């Protein structure tokens, strides 16, 4: 009997897979590669909401889990995927500078916001008011992570590239049978694909489409991540990842001319050099209106679970939420009510 059948191998599925393996559990991962939001994600991790200069929910706890999580994965896959890098928030006025200083004095934000204005001049970016530096930041190469981790799972026969057949589920006394496999638990980590899941499709997963570019800009000499209305992330060899847009209506993963035009306009607001669009990507992020993940157990079938709704911060949220779900299943450690799907389900809300 297998301990966990995990459906989906995006950031949520991989995070739970790794937590389960680290705790000595047997797993099998299924994925039909239909969801690509993790693969095209920006991959940034940043403990501060820069639009409002406020702390990301439970940022310290998430960073603490990340500190061990990604290095452990890098050893397994023998590949570097976690890259530490400063994130600079460009200031557009003296008022923004003052707001930054006020935020950096707050106890919760002090570990994450430098109190020094960065006045360094970067070619092709006008910055008369300088930058604020966010600390404990970087990015994960999500496409590389997912590809390498799936390869790792395939080598040890823990991955099957196939669609999940919900009708093939049979609930037994103390287990679940899926086709010819008997499992103790199923964890659904399907991203926006959750809408096809008959057990969890009523949960309020909204989905936000995002589009991003890889551009080539030889005159843009940048060695840090710059965040304004979009982020600009240096990849080396004059290549930069730039994103992202937010579209709450379009639920397709196809790049659009509207998204392209929006990104081009925003890039031109930040840099004053020529650039070439090398690639244009799109995907639907699994977002929730209350901006909290969907984590927990089905109200009737107590051995099927969900890990979803990581939204735009999957790199930070994934490891911590996977650990929370695992601890809940294995050790009955209660979930934080703000992430527990019970908040969404009137049948079990007390």
Distance CA 23, CA 45 (A): 25
Q: Looking at residues 24-53, what average pLDDT do you find? A: 85
Q: Looking at residues 167-187, what average pLDDT do you find? A: 94
Q: Tokens at residue 17, please?
A: 């897979």
DSSP state letter for 75: H
Q: How confident is the model at residue 56 (pLDDT cuts 50, 70, 90)?
A: very high
pLDDT tops 70 at residue 349: no
What confidence score (pLDDT) does residue 51 get? Answer: 83
What confidence score (pLDDT) does residue 52 get? Answer: 83
Q: How confident is the model at residue 39 (pLDDT cuts 50, 70, 90)?
A: low
Question: What is the dihedral sign for C-alpha 109, 114, 119, 124?
Answer: negative
- In tens, the pLDDT along 245-303 reads 999 999 988 999 999 999 999 999 999 999 999 999 999 999 998 989 999 999 999 99
Q: Are 35 and 10 in contact (CB under 8 A)?
A: yes
Q: Which domains does the chain have, with CATH numbers?
A: 2-43+143-205+289-344 (3.50.50.60), 86-136 (no CATH), 208-285 (3.30.9.10)
What's the whole-number average pLDDT of the chain? 93
CA neighbours closer than 13 Å in the CB half-sphere of residue 289: 5
What confidence score (pLDDT) does residue 53 get? Answer: 86
Exposed, middle or buried, 117 (CB in 10 Å: 0-12/13-18/19+)? Answer: middle
| Backbone phi, psi, residue 295, to 5° | -135, 135
Distance CA 200, CA 191 (A): 12
What confidence score (pLDDT) does residue 347 get? Answer: 41
Distance CA 335, CA 350 (A): 15
Q: Looking at residues 325-346, what average pLDDT do you find? A: 94
Give the max Cα distance, the chain.
Answer: 68
pLDDT tops 80 at residue 40: no
pLDDT tops 80 at residue 36: no
Q: How confident is the model at residue 101 (pLDDT cuts 50, 70, 90)?
A: very high
Q: How confident is the model at residue 348 (pLDDT cuts 50, 70, 90)?
A: very low
Q: How confident is the model at residue 100 (pLDDT cuts 50, 70, 90)?
A: very high
Q: How confident is the model at residue 314 (pLDDT cuts 50, 70, 90)?
A: very high
DSSP 90-123: E--SHHHHHHHHHHHTSTTTTTTEEEEEE-PPPT
Contacts of 127 (CB under 8 A, 6+ apart): 90, 91, 121
Q: Are 287 and 206 in contact (CB under 8 A)?
A: yes
What confidence score (pLDDT) does residue 32 get? Answer: 82
Q: Looking at residues 9-29, what average pLDDT do you find? A: 97
CA-to-CA separations, 263 to 82, 156, 210, 246, in angstroms, rounded: 26, 41, 11, 11
């Amino acid at each position: 009997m297998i301990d966990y059948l995990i459906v989906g191998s995006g950031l949520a599925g991989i995070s739970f897979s790794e937590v389960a393996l680290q705790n000595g559990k047997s797993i099998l991962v299924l994925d039909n590669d239909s969801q690509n939001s993790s693969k095209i994600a920006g991959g940034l991790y940043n403990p501060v909401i820069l639009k409002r200069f406020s702390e990301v929910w439970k940022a310290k706890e998430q960073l603490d889990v990340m500190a061990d999580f990604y290095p452990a994965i890098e050893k397994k896959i023998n590949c570097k995927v976690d890259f530490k890098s400063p994130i600079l928030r460009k200031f557009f006025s003296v008022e923004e500078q003052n707001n930054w200083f006020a935020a950096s004095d707050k106890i919760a934000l002090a570990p994450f916001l430098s109190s020094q204005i960065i006045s360094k001049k970067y070619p092709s970016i006008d910055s008369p008011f300088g930058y604020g530096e966010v600390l404990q930041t970087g990015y994960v190469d999500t496409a590389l992570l997912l590809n390498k981790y799936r390869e790792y799972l395939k080598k040890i026969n823990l991955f099957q590239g196939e669609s999940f057949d919900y009708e093939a589920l049979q609930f037994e006394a103390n287990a679940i049978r899926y086709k010819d496999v008997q499992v103790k638990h199923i964890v659904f980590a399907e991203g926006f694909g959750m809408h096809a899941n008959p057990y969890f499709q009523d949960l309020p997963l909204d989905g936000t489409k995002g589009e991003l570019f890889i551009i080539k800009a030889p005159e843009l000499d940048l060695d840090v991540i710059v965040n304004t209305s979009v982020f600009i992330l240096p990849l080396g060899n004059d290549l930069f990842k730039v994103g992202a847009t937010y579209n709450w209506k379009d639920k397709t993963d196809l790049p659009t001319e509207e998204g392209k035009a929006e990104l081009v306009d925003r890039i031109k607001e930040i840099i004053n050099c020529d650039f070439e669009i090398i690639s244009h990507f799109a995907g639907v992020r699994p977002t929730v209106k209350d901006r909290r993940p969907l984590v927990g157990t089905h109200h009737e079938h107590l051995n099927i679970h969900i890990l979803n709704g990581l939204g735009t911060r999957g790199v930070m949220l994934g490891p911590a939420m996977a650990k929370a779900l695992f601890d809940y299943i294995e050790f009955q450690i209660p979930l934080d009510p703000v992430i527990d799907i019970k908040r969404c389900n009137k049948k079990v809300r007390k």
